[in-house]
Amino acid sequence: MRIESATSIGAKWWRKALRAYSRGHTTDLDQIENNELTAVESREPMPRNVADFKDHPIYALERHLRRNEVLIPNATAAGTVGAGSKGPLEKVYRRKDVRLARSGDKWYRLGREVRPNEIPVKFLPKRAKKADLFGEEEDGDGETVGTPVYMMEQTDLYKAPPVIDGRIPKNRFGNLDVYVPSMVPEGGAYVADDMAARAAFILGIDYAAALTGFQFKGRQGTAVLHGAVVAAEHEEAVRAVITGLEDQEAEVEQERRTREVLRTWRTFLMHLRVRQRIWAGVDSDEEAAAANANANEENAMDLDKGKNKGKGVSQNDDDDDDEAEVAAHQSEDSDIGGGFLVDED
C-alpha cells in the first residue's frame, strides 16, 4: 500500500495510523522490504494524462503546484507530457524536488528564521481586497509585490537571547514567544502550567509569560499565553510552589463541598423535625393511611398532567373558567363587605 496523495496531511495521517504497528527499530527484514519498495517506486510508470499528475505521489507538473509549493533550484525534469495532440509539451518533475515555501513570519512560528540576504524563491500574490460599502475597492499601499516566501534550506534554527543573571528576555509586550520547545532561551526553563506565572510572582523572581500560539475566532486572532519561562535554577522552586498552590486549591474545594453537604443534611434534618412535630401523638396506622392517600393523590395528579399534555386550547379554556369563577367570588365578597355583617340600628 501507499499514499495516493501528495498532501502533507495525508502523509501525517498515514504515519499516525501505522505508529501502533511499528517496532520502534528497523530490522534487517524491514531494510530489505524498504529497498524492494524503493525499487518498485523507481519503476513507477509515468501517467499519460495531465489530469493524473495532480497530487501524484511521485511525479508533479509545475502547473499543479500549490500556492506555497516551489521547485528546488536546478530541478531536473524526469520527462515530458503533452496536453492533447496539439498542446505544448510540459516538463514532468519528481515530487521529491517539490518544497514547501513559507513567509518569514511562518518560519518564525515554526522556530526558524530566514538567513540574512536570502533571495525569496517566490512572491505570493496578494489576495483580492473586499469592496467597501459603496462597491469600490479600498485603496492599497501602492505595492505590487506580494509576500516573499522561502524554503527550509534558506532558514536556520531560531536562537533566542540567553538568560543572563536570572533576567528573562522579553518582547515589547512583556512576554516571550515559545511556539516550539527549541525557542526556549539558553539558561531558561519553560514551565507549562497555568500557575507558573503566579508561582514565580510569589517567589519574587523574574519570569516571562509564554506565548505559545494564537487562537483565531472569526477573523480576529487572540494570543494564547500558557505557562511561563523562568531561569533554569528556579525551575524546581517554581514547580514546588505550583504543587503547594494546587494542594491549597484542593483543600478550598474540599471545604466548599463539605459545607454544601452539611447544608443539605441540615435542610433534611429540619424537614424531619417538622414532620415529627406534625405527627406527634398521631396513631401510626392513621399516619400510614394519610401517607397512602397523599401518594394516591400525587399519582392522580401525574395522570391528569399526562392526559392534558398537548391540549393547550382546552387548558386555556379551563384557565378562563377558573378566572371567571375567581372573579365571581371576588364580586360576592365585595357585596358583603369583606365577610363582615353590619349591625342594624
At position 310, the amino acid (one-letter code) is: G
What is the per-residue pLDDT across 293-328, written as a single tens digit (0 to 9) for each? 877 777 777 777 766 665 554 445 555 555 555 444
Q: Say if residues 83 and 54 touch (Cβ distance below 8 Å).
A: no
Q: What CATH class has 3-100?
A: mainly beta
Task: Give me the mean pLDDT over the 209-234 stretch.
Answer: 90
pLDDT of residue 235: 95
Whether the pLDDT of residue 127 is over 50: the answer is: yes
pLDDT of residue 320: 54
CATH 3.30.70.2460 assigned to domain 160-279? The reply is: yes
The grid coordinates listed for 259 are: 459545607
Whether the pLDDT of residue 340 is over 50: the answer is: no
Task: Give me the mean pLDDT over the 150-170 stretch.
Answer: 93
**Count of CA atoms in the C-beta half-sphere (13 A) of 315:** 9
CA 247, CA 183: separation in Å to the nearest integer? 31
Q: Where are the CATH 2.20.20.110 domain residues in the chain?
A: 3-100
pLDDT of residue 201: 96
Q: Where are the CATH 3.30.70.2460 domain residues in the chain?
A: 160-279
The rounded percent of the chain whose pLDDT value lies above 70 is 80
Task: Give me the mean pLDDT over the 245-255 stretch.
Answer: 96
What are 60's strand-pairing partners? 93
Collapse the DSSP code of 222 into the 3-class scheme (helix H, G, I; strand E, B; otherwise coil) and give the result: strand
CA 313, CA 300: separation in Å to the nearest integer? 22
Collapse the DSSP code of 136 into the 3-class scheme (helix H, G, I; strand E, B; otherwise coil) and give the result: coil
pLDDT of residue 22: 79
Phi-psi region of 338 (alpha: psi -120 to 50; beta: other; left: phi over 0): left
The grid coordinates listed for 162 are: 540567553
**Who wins on pLDDT, 85 or 94?**
94
